[in-house]
Amino acid sequence: MSESIIQDIQHKLNNKEVSCVQLVQEKIDALNASTKNANNSILAESALKQAADFDKQLASGKQLSGLEGIPFGVKDVYLLKGTISTASSNILKNYKSPYTATAIQKLIDAGAIPVSKENCDQFGHGSTNENSIFGTTKNAFDDSKVAGGSSGGSAVNVAQKNTVFSIGGDTGGSIRQPAGYNNVFGFKPTYGRVSRYGLMAYTSSSDCVGPFAETVKDIATTLNVMSGKDGKDQTSVESTSIDVNAFSKDIPAGTKVGVYKTFINHPSLDPSIKKEFHVLIEKLKDSGVTVKELDFFDGDTLTATYYIIALAETASNLSRIDGIAYGNRAMDKDSLASTYLDTRSEGFSEESKRRIIAGNQVLSVGYSDEIYKKALTVRKGIEAKFVKDFNEVDFILSPTAPSLPPTIGQSLKDPLTMYLSDMYTVGFSLGGLPTLSAPFEVANNVQITAAKGKDEEILRFAYAIEQSL
């Protein structure tokens, strides 16, 4: 396995083994031929134009660097100027992006070429990518199984090599879980490391922008480009660039890893995942890593805390989508009130309506103190526990999802099971912690989490494991 697909492709471009137009055309052909439902729209015309510009530069003797000439995918919740950005919803089916999201613009400025707006659960509302007007995205390895979600299309495109990397969004596991279901790397950075400007908001207090890729180095390279303080996102923070060339194949001496007993002993954890997870832990011990078992909140509490906060925030965030200034409006209604009512009832899916209505309940009199504010207090407790745990260990390792990818259609019958399947990912989202979902011989991937701001440490550790397996 190559250490960097991005570097390999650029090497071929610079050596004129392939032209940029040929490369982009190959990807577009593959995206068009895919039967996985991973793409809401394919950006052939603009991508080929950018590729032709790079070919001209190559012909004039320039060597490409950074992300120049690299085709990538964009989850269809990011604005990309002039393209249709639907959030996989009916209400925004024809919405044209007036500007480009900061993270995506930085990638374009670094020379990367967007080739696809990728399928996802509507407004991020789902863990299976079945909640989409474009249909269910199928798992990269089994058409009968879901791709995971909400960033399912992005994970599948990378797994099928139809994009070199893709940009997903992770609120409660929406990058990490589909990365696991499709056996690729997916990274949720520290909250604020990458600007959220131009990302359609789901849960603003935990929404994160992050990449999918085939190697750790490619995750680091794309993250470096997107990171940084942005005046258009007050929650964004400065960060230092990760030195990809300084990655070592050796795990640093004295590395300490924590494992949450409540996660590993949860009855819903598939025995095969548990077994593979233990094998990985034993390998790490053999490499000199110290492993410590830790107590943590149970999965039900984590899931309840996350969903209560997420529902409240999405009800608030999506209240702006009413068909007045943009979006598909229900026409010829008697009044403003009936226009709102019909526009939103026709425009949102059943799952999105469920979350908006429940979110308004959480925020209403009689519930806000007892439910919403209590969830915020529990979140504080979770954050405090992380601070204590990372005084004892460098990383926490955990499974990404308790069960193997469900069969398409199964989760729609029982949404509660789908919500509970997020139990291993949502806690780290509530803490705003960086977490990598890595395909390290454990079904559904393994999560590697560190303290806030320790994104580089995770990727260094993961690189050493990647090279040793």
Partner 1 sequence: MDKLEQLSNIKAGDVNISKITDFFETIKNVKDIDTLGSEDHIVKSDNLREDVVINCDPEEKALILDNFPAKQGTYLVVPKVIQ
> Catalytic positions, please?
75, 150, 174
Using CB under 8 A as the binding rule, the residues of this chain from 107 to 146 that contact partner 1 are: none
Q: Is 91 in the site for partner 1 (CB under 8 A)?
A: no
Least separation in angstroms between residue 96's CB and partner 1 is: 5
| Per-residue contact flags (x/-) with partner 1 for residues 161 to 200, judged by CB under 8 A | ------------------------------xx--------
> Which residue, 33 or 325, is less far from partner 1 as judged by CB?
325
**Is residue 203 close enough to count as binding partner 1 by CB under 8 A?**
no
Beta carbon of residue 68, minimum distance to partner 1 (angstroms, whole number): 25
Alpha carbons within 13 angstroms on the beta-carbon side of residue 274 total: 13
Kind plus residue range of the DSSP H or E element containing 41: strand 39-42
Instruction: Give the residue with the Cβ less far from partner 1, 389 or 466.
Output: 389
Of residues 418-437, those binding partner 1 (CB under 8 A): 419, 431-432
Confirm if 270 and 403 have CB atoms less than 8 A apart: yes
- Tokens 């989202």 found at: 429
Contact 118, 40 (CB under 8 A): yes
**What's the min distance (Å) between Cβ of 105 and partner 1?**
13
412 binds partner 1 (CB under 8 A): no
205 interacts with partner 1 by CB under 8 A = yes
- Does 290 interact with partner 1 (rule: CB under 8 A)? no
The piece of 13-21, 68-76, 160-168, 234-242 that touches partner 1 (CB under 8 A) is 234-242
Q: Please, what is the minimum distance in Å from the beta carbon of residue 346 to partner 1?
A: 9
Residue type, 374: K
Dihedral angle sign, alpha carbons of residues 348, 375, 210, 464: negative
The residue with tokens 């729609």 is 412
Q: Locate tokens 């990818």: which residue? A: 405
In the bound state with partner 1, the residue whose beta carbon lies nearer, of 73 and 323, is 323
Stretch that binds partner 1, among 4-12, 282-290, 370-378, 398-406 (CB under 8 A): 370-378
Binding to partner 1 by residue 308, rule CB under 8 A? yes
Could you tell me how many residues of this chain bind partner 1 (CB under 8 A)?
75
Per CB under 8 A, the list member of 319, 392, 409, 469 interacting with partner 1 is 319
Is there binding between residue 325 and partner 1 (CB under 8 A)?
yes
User: Which of 339, 300, 297 shows the shortest CA–CA distance to 321?
Assistant: 339
Q: Which two tokens stand for residue 6?
A: 């991005």
Q: Which of residues 381-410 bind partner 1 (CB under 8 A)?
A: 381, 383-385, 387-388
Name the one range near partner 1 by CB under 8 A: 8-16, 171-179, 194-202, 342-350.
342-350
Asked if 350 interacts with partner 1 (CB under 8 A), we say: yes
Element (H, E) at 90: none
- Contact assessment for residue 160 and residue 153, using Cβ atoms and an 8 Å cutoff: no
- Dihedral angle at the C-alpha atoms of 108, 111, 115, 118, nearest 10 degrees? -50
Q: Which of 27, 125, 138, 329 binds partner 1 (CB under 8 A)?
A: 329
Beta strand pairing call for 71-75 and 165-170? parallel
The distance in angstroms from the start CA to the end CA of the chain is 11
- Is position 353 an interface residue for partner 1 (rule: CB under 8 A)? yes
- Give least dist CB 343 to partner 1, A: 8
Instruction: Find residue 259's DSSP bridge partners.
Output: 293, 397
Q: Which of 281, 294, 210, 266 has the alpha carbon at shortest distance from 421?
A: 266
Nearer to partner 1, 66 or 415 (CB): 415
Find residue 208's DSSP bridge partners. 170
Closest approach, Cβ 117 to partner 1, in A, equals 16
Q: How far apart are CA 233 and CA 410, in angstroms?
A: 38
| List of residues 6+ apart from 261 with CB closer than 8 A | 293, 294, 295, 296
Q: Are 120 and 88 in contact (CB under 8 A)?
A: yes
